[in-house]
Amino acid sequence: MAQRLELAASRPGTNKSAIVDAALDRFLNPERDASGDAPLVRRLDRISRQLERTDRDLSVMAETIALFIRYYLTITPPLPSGDQDAARALGRERFEMFVAQVGKRVASGGRLVADVMERVSTSNPDLFMRHIEEGAPLGASRAAASKSRSQDATGQQPEPSPAGREEIGNV
């Protein structure tokens, strides 16, 4: 230990008493030693940012699913009894195709939510800045919002946007 102290004290700008003083201070007051915590703090900050992104993605996904379900349940008319078996068969077939698409995207590492979020934030950075209570479609102006509400009141099904049509083609 004495040799290591001699070696450390031989560096320019240091002496034995300063090294021993710093070591005793570190030993007797470990809570003041922030230098050892810096990598841990950086890692915790990085984990915190990752959790915030995951939380945002999960919120977007939950809202998307909830809106889709509400839309689907609102516009889907009940089927006559004779058509239900054919509809179930078609539904199973579509579900199998859906599962295959999800499996393909997961296996390839593709993330549709991240792709869509990136595309939206690039093309319309203010999209998520409006309040839901305004009633406007996301990204629409106030004038377009009032026009959109009157069209919805007539019961007409809205046309997909160009981006929506593009997404339907990519699925």
How many other β-carbons are positioned within 10 Å of the β-carbon of residue 63?
11
Q: Could you report the per-residue pLDDT of 47-64, keeping only the tens digit for each?
A: 999 999 999 888 888 898
pTM for this predicted structure:
0.42
Q: Indicate the burial class of 102 (C-beta count within 10 angstroms; 0-12, 13-18, 19 or more).
A: exposed
pLDDT of residue 35: 63
Report CA 40 to chain centroid distance, whole Å.
Answer: 24
- Residue identified by tokens 């099904």 is 157
